[in-house]
Amino acid sequence: MKAITSLAAYRARSMKGNVHPKIILGGPLVLLLILTGSLWQTGCLAPGPPAEKITVGSILSRISGLLYVAQDQGYFKAQGLDVDIKTYASSPESLKDLKAGHIDLACCGIFNLVKEALAGGSNLRALTVLCNGQIMDLIASRDRGIREPADLRGKAIGLMKDSAAEYFLGVFLTLHHLTLQEVRIVAVKPFALGEALATGEVDAVVAWEPYIGEIVKKMGNAVVTWPSQEGQDIFWVMAGRREYLKSHFATMEKLLLALEQASKFIKEHPAEAKKIMSRRATFLPADWDKYPVRYDLFLDQGLLLHMEDEAAWLIHNRPTDRKELPNFMDYLDPEPLLKVNPRAVRLALPGSVSPY
């Protein structure tokens, strides 16, 4: 059959029944696809800009849930971001790499930023709180004669040094009429807490999930547990170097937008969010309700007051030349969050919000 070279010829042939009306649609469509492919290969029709890569350091825990949900649901990708979540055993380790420039951002307890501020010269800033809640327990061995908090006197307590576990243990002891000087603190890595308690290396430990569940499951009725935070929240924040946050302001906006979407998803689909988190961080189903965590982005006066409490405790209990509290507003960067969600920033801002 000869090729159809004009619309008139097509009409004439189709009226004779030799050409199906739908066949003609294939020609222009195929031509368009071929032309588009040629333009793409020659660079005349260029692809969109590549996703901006960000490396975020965090421990493997449910408190990093916003990161896991945002990644799983494609919220980072939708903002043009390629977020690599690098796992660390502890906050001090991730902050070490952050200060060295090996990663772009780090998730950590606010206690770690307070310690940096007291040490002086820190250029780290908290971008937002990622979650807050009650996640720590003090777990003691009944075999060592511990039945109530008063029995901790003279005992060895294992915990992750340079972490919020130190502060919350100190508060717990004070509320139960004990002092840090009346117990012996032993530095133990988080993943080794259960083994240290089981073997008798220590008499008690301060742990968080998922380690709490692992210890209780292994030792059962041989241990007694108490909430070590005594009603005070831990604040889990995302932090970055001052110069990085300043030079990547638009990127931080996109990141926070993605995390805001993740926060909304967790509230609207808690069962699905639990499944997403459980694929990344091991935790017992019962821990979800026993250790409630609120996944909200914010910076507020309550956070500042908590930072001042931790700093006052550190000044009193740790060797330091610092006798006055720093201005912790200097260690927050509220501008990106203020742009994304003004209601999430509840600070008494003096004039300009810029910490620079």
DSSP notation for 87-151: EESSHHHHHHHHHHTSSSEEEEEHHHHHHHHHHS---EEEEEEEEEE--EEEEEEGGGT-SSGGG
Q: Which two tokens stand for residue 122?
A: 């820190």
Q: How far apart are CA 51 and CA 111, in angstroms?
A: 33
Residue 327 neighbours by CB under 8 Å, 6+ apart: none
Residue 38, pLDDT > 60, answer no
Residue with tokens 């720590």: 136
Instruction: For residues 162 and 113, state if they share a domain.
Output: no
Exposed (0-12), middle (13-18) or buried (19+): which is 114, by Cβ within 10 Å?
Answer: buried
Q: Which two tokens stand for residue 281?
A: 């961080």
Instruction: For residues 204 and 265, state if they share a domain.
Output: no
DSSP bridge pairs for 125: 240
Across residues 21-34, what is the average pLDDT? 46
Residue 6, pLDDT > 80, answer no
Instruction: For residues 283 and 219, state if they share a domain.
Output: no
Does 45 fall in a domain?
no
Domain C-terminal end among 227, 248, 272: 227
Domain C-terminal end among 202, 227, 252: 227
Residue with tokens 């060592």: 144
Q: What is the pLDDT of residues 152-172, one digit of tens each?
A: 999 999 999 888 999 999 999
Residue 84, pLDDT > 50, answer yes
Quickly state the pLDDT bin for 49 (edges 50, 70, 90).
confident
Q: How far apart are CA 8 and CA 43, in angstroms?
A: 37
pLDDT score at 286: 66
Does 21 fall in a domain?
no
Domain C-terminal end among 196, 227, 258: 227
Using omega within 30 degrees of 0 as the cis cutoff, is the peptide bond preceding 285 cis? no
Instruction: For residues 237 and 165, state if they share a domain.
Output: no
Instruction: For residues 286 and 143, state if they share a domain.
Output: no
Does 351 fall in a domain?
no
Does 24 fall in a domain?
no
Instruction: For residues 200 and 248, state if they share a domain.
Output: no
Q: CA angle 57-63-68, nearest 5°?
A: 65
Does 2 fall in a domain?
no
Across residues 16-34, what is the average pLDDT? 46
Across residues 17-36, what is the average pLDDT? 46
Dmax of the chain from CA atoms? 104
Instruction: For residues 103 and 213, state if they share a domain.
Output: no
Does 1 fall in a domain?
no
Residue with tokens 């005070």: 232
Across residues 269-283, what is the average pLDDT? 88
Does 212 fall in a domain?
yes
pLDDT score at 35: 47
Owning domain of residue 255: 52-132+233-346
Q: What is the pLDDT of residues 246-260, one digit of tens each?
A: 999 999 999 999 999
DSSP bridge pairs for 141: 223
Instruction: For residues 163 and 208, state if they share a domain.
Output: yes
Q: What is the pLDDT of residues 99-134, one digit of tens each?
A: 999 999 999 999 999 999 998 878 999 999 999 998
The CATH number linked to 272 is 3.40.190.10
